[in-house]
Structure formats: structure tokens, C-alpha cells
Structure 1
């Protein structure tokens, strides 16, 4: 790209390029040159907007965490509609159909990135921790509506669903789990907490 030509919304362009590389080639392929080539811009563009490549990666991961806010709001709004298992299975498949699994691999792969993220993310695994909170909050809404048992530990259920979901979807090179497998995981995880009508 010629010098002096403005790129609109550079961060979005670069972050979207990182998504494509991660999903296609995995974390080992994610380099500054690969990102700028994928984004169709000069390598210097990335370094004008970020201190170094790990600064870029930290910004990228935190941006993808922020994107969970809209998913969390949509899941909470579904409380009281449909079935609890269907709502959770749909949300779980959407979460792991996104770049979330690849981001977990990226954070595991790069020590410096983990160190930088610790400055703003003191515990847990970015994306998965936020997703577990999202599921726990949704289950709390369903508990308030009487569709989940009053004594259910919704926080632990949220972490259980995310942990089990991560294992189910972890192999990014294999076939994606089908909807029946995701639904079976969810119904098994919440079986003891789920209240049925009339109980």
C-alpha cells in the first residue's frame, strides 16, 4: 500500500486479519508480517499503532473479550424463553465457533503475551473466564425465574460448561462437534440443577 494512503479503522482491519490467520493456520503462524500481509497493508502500519507485536496481540485478545459483551446480553435476554438446554447449547456452539478456541491456544503459546495480559487480566484464561462468567450470569437469571434449582451453584456450572465445551471443541483441525453432541454435553452438565414444570 503506498505511503500516505489512509487506512480506515486500522485496528479492526488488523484484528480481523489475525482472526483469519488463527482460524486457518493456528497460533504459530501469527507474526507481524503475516498479519499485515493478510490485512493488505505495509508492515510499518502495525508498528505505528502498537508498541510491538505482543502489544498488538494483547490489544487483539482484549478486543475479542469485549466482543463477548453483546453475546452475554443476548444470552441473558433469552432467559425464560425456549429451554435452558437449547439456549446454552446455542450459545456454547456460537462461542466455540468463533475465534475463542484459537485465542486460548495463542495465549498458551506466547509467554510474553500472557505476561502482558496479566496486567489487566489477573486470573484465569482470557475469553474462557469471561465466557464462564457469561454462562453463570445467564443461569442466575434462569434460577431467579425458577427454571434452575434455587440452591444451584450457577458460577460452578458456568465454569463446568466452558471447560467441557473447550475440550469438546479443542481440536481445531478435526470435524466440529455436531449439535447433538453439544446438546448432550449441556443437558448432562445441568441435569441436577434443572427444574421441570410441576416440580
Structure 2
């Protein structure tokens, strides 16, 4: 995880400097707070598109963000992200209601990134929003992540059901459960106490 703490400090600095108003760590790095670590070499940051509206046209551009980072020497792009302290960072504008809700309900956590190192305060998606987003995206690695959240009892299934219901994902969840041989929400054996 070398450099991740410094990368997150740069992103916190973007908030402090008013470049972005709010962010939430998403994807594999957010999952670190809830489940056993998996290998990842990029960082997904969910940001509000409102931070990037340009004038009367209403078009959004990430130019203020990239300009800010460029002025601090971050000019390399890799894996669809700008490299900050060795980590390719993808800034993902809110694209749908699930993203917006996830960003609005993001939680502040202290993430420990190595022994002897002070934790860093960041905001990240809740476990339930990580799982719902993984279900919506549906790649093999997303399905694996969902299974890990369930196996490690890292998600509140009652809260997850509410999130999935609000975002019309209950049918997708039922299909996922059938494919993975899991009981669905309706089966009492799957309820988390």
C-alpha cells in the first residue's frame, strides 16, 4: 500500500483547497475497510459532478481538478487515472442515483495503512453501497467482492435490501443469488442478526 496514504492526503488537500467539495473512496480500496485486503493498484474516487459545472452551458469538465494536480507535478496518466504518489486515481463523477446516494451517505473513517503509521481520515462508501455498486457493474471481480462481503459478514443485509430496493436492483440480486447458490433475502437463513 506504499504511497496510498500520501495519495489520500493529496485528495484530502483537494477538499481543503475547494477543488472538490466531497468525495468517497470506492472500489477495492474502500472494500479494505470492510473485508480482508485484495490486490489492487488503482484508486477510485467518486466525486459530485456539481463540483465541475462550467458556466451557463451546464457542461461538466474535470479541468479544474486536472489543472490543480498538474500544478503540483501530477501529470502522468496510467490505467485511465492520473498518477498521484504512484497510484493511478480515477475520479468518477456521480453518474446515477445510486452513486449520488452513496456519495451523500459516505462515512468518515480512519484508515490504517501500515504498522507504526498514524491513520488517515477519509470518506468512503458504506459497505452496502459498495455491494450495490458491484452488483450493478457485475464484472467477475465485482461478483467475487460481493461474495467476500457476505462471507465475512461485512454488510448489513437489511440495509442492503433497502438500498437495492430503492435503486431497482432486487431482481438483479435474486439472479446473483441463484447464480452463486445463495439464499435470497426472502429466506430467513440469509438474514443477518
TM-score of the aligned structures, taking structure 2 as reference length: 0.32
Structure with the higher fraction of residues in strand conformation: 2
Q: Which structure has the larger Rg?
A: 1
Structure with the higher fraction of residues in helix conformation: 1
